[in-house]
């Protein structure tokens, strides 16, 4: 495996991790806590969207993120020929 390919693989991985972590922080610390006042206008079952993100939505997004990462990385492994 050439060094260039290895570097490209690693920076592609880091980019995917960064994007995923931005979403991770946005739904939990963002929508769930800090940005909740901004979402107060959107009502969900007797409360607002921020409450829903704090108690349900963030968990569902976390799940989606992990499965997306696993799928995306398996594809990346194959593209760079570093799969097992």
Partner 1 sequence: MDQFTLNWIFIGASFALYIGIAIWARAGSTSEFYAAGRGVHPVTNGMATAADWMSAASFISMAGLIAFTGYDNSSFLMGWTGGYVLLALMLAPYLRKFGKFTVSEFIGDRFYSPTARLVAVICLIVASTTYVIGQMTGVGVAFGRFLEVDKTTGLFIGAAVVFAYAVFGGMKGVTYTQVAQYCVLIVAYTIPAIFISLQLTGNPIPGLGLFGDHVGSGEPLLAKLDALVTELGFASYTGHHADTLNMVLFTLSLMIGTAGLPHVIMRFFTVPRVADARWSAGWTLVFIALLYLTAPAVGAMARLNLIDTVYPNGTESESIDYEARPDWMATWETTGLLKFQDMNGDGKIQWYNDGGVGAAKMALTKLETADNPDADKIAAAKEKVASLEAKTADSVFTANGWKGSELSVNRDILVLANPEIAQLPGWVIALVAAGGLAAALSTAAGLLLAISSAVSHDLIKGAINPNISEKGELLSARIAMAVAICVATYLGLNPPGFAAQTVALAFGLAAASIFPALMMGIFTKVNNKGAVAGMLTGLIVTLIYIFMHKGWFFIPGTNQFTDADPLLGTIKSTSFGAIGALLNFAVAFIVSKSSDPIPAEIEELVESVRVPKGAGVAQDH
Q: Which stretches of the chain bind partner 1, using CB under 8 A?
A: 1, 6, 9-10, 13, 17, 20-21, 24, 28-29, 32-34, 36, 44-48, 51-52, 54-56, 58-60, 62-63, 65-67, 69-70, 73-74, 77, 81-84
Pick 1 or 4: Cβ nearer partner 1: 1
- In whole angstroms, give the CA distance from residue 76 to residue 80: 6
Pick 4 or 10: Cβ nearer partner 1: 10
On the 0-12 / 13-18 / 19+ scale of CB atoms within 10 A, 67 is exposed
């Amino acid at each position: 495996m050439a060094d260039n390919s290895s570097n490209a693989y690693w920076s592609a991985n880091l980019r995917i991790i960064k994007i995923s972590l931005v979403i991770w922080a946005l739904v939990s610390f963002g929508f769930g806590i800090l940005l909740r006042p901004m979402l107060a206008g959107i009502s969900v079952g007797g409360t607002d969207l921020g409450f829903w993100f704090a108690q349900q939505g963030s968990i569902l997004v976390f799940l989606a993120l992990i499965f997306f990462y696993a799928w995306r990385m398996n594809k990346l492994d194959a593209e760079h020929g570093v799969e097992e």
